Structure 1
Amino acid sequence: MSEERNVIPMILTGIASIVGTVVVLWYYGYLHFAKEQDALLLSDFTMLKTVAGEDYKVSLKPANQVAQCIDGVLVLFDTQQKGLTGVLVDNKKQAVRCLGQETPQAPQQ
């Protein structure tokens, strides 16, 4: 008994299942399609080193980002693009750490 099956409905069902899964994950927020304008590059930021006795100038107008210490990691929130958040990292993709409201101290050896 040689029975030939039509595989086209099975293929269409598989494709529809994948598309349906992606749509449901996106709808509930488990999947986010990032756009290029959503990213902030580390090169957009510069650290000003403070030296005792020297003056430095900064703009009175605040930046569009606000930083907050969450679980010991510095997280940036964008005030113009709602929902855009990110972790500040260095060029080696290591997260910039913070110690709450305290001034960070040099590690003890």
Structure 2
Amino acid sequence: MSEPRSGVPLILTSLASVFVTVGCLWYYGYVHFAKPEDARLLAEFTMLKTLPGETYQASAAPARQMAQCIDGRLVLFDQEQRGLSGVLVDERGRLVRCLP
């Protein structure tokens, strides 16, 4: 007669594999655990209004952020901090839309 097997090793193996998988996804930037300080202002932006016949001056050095249009919203990605991204909003917290 065979004795019933214990399920403890199976449960521990499955828990360990879940933790290792989540850890690998976090390390490579596919999973981000949000913290309250992540919701703070990433950077200040100012719009330079262009008028016909007038010139404007801006720095030749690029900003740390890169923008991309995703689902009609302007999403900013920080190039120095891996995985840090956010949407661009105006002073009232409304999303800035873009044309795809």
Q: Is this a same-fold pair by TM over 0.5?
A: yes
Deviation above 6 Å: which 4+ runs of structure 1?
Answer: none
TM-score, normalization by structure 2: 0.63
Alpha-carbon RMSD: 2.6
Partner of 1:35: 37
Conserved in 1, the CA contact under 8 Å of 2:73 and 2:95? Answer: yes
CA positional deviation for 1:30 = 6.7
| In structure 1, C-alpha distance between the alignment counterparts of 2:70 and 2:78, rounded to whole Å | 15
TM-score, normalization by structure 1: 0.58
Partner of 2:16: none
Partner of 2:3: none
AA of the residue aligned to 1:76: L
Equivalent runs, 1:11-90 vs 2, <5 Å: 29=31, 31-35=33-37, 39-41=41-43, 44-90=44-90
User: Is it true that 1:92 corresponds to 2:92 in the alignment?
Assistant: yes
Unaligned runs of 5+ in 2: 1-18
Q: Percent identity?
A: 51
State how many pairs are aligned. Answer: 74
Q: Which has the larger radius of gyration?
A: 1
CA positional deviation for 1:61 = 0.5
Secondary structure of 1:35's counterpart equals helix
Secondary structure of 2:99's counterpart equals coil
| In structure 1, C-alpha distance between the alignment counterparts of 2:66 and 2:32, rounded to whole Å | 25
Conserved in 1, the CA contact under 8 Å of 2:77 and 2:85? Answer: yes
| In structure 2, C-alpha distance between the alignment counterparts of 1:30 and 1:55, rounded to whole Å | 42
Unaligned runs of 5+ in 1: 1-23, 101-109
Q: Deviations over 1:1-30 (max 9, x none)?
A: xxxxxxxxxxxxxxxxxxxxxxx7x86747
AA of the residue aligned to 1:35: E
Secondary structure of 2:76's counterpart equals strand
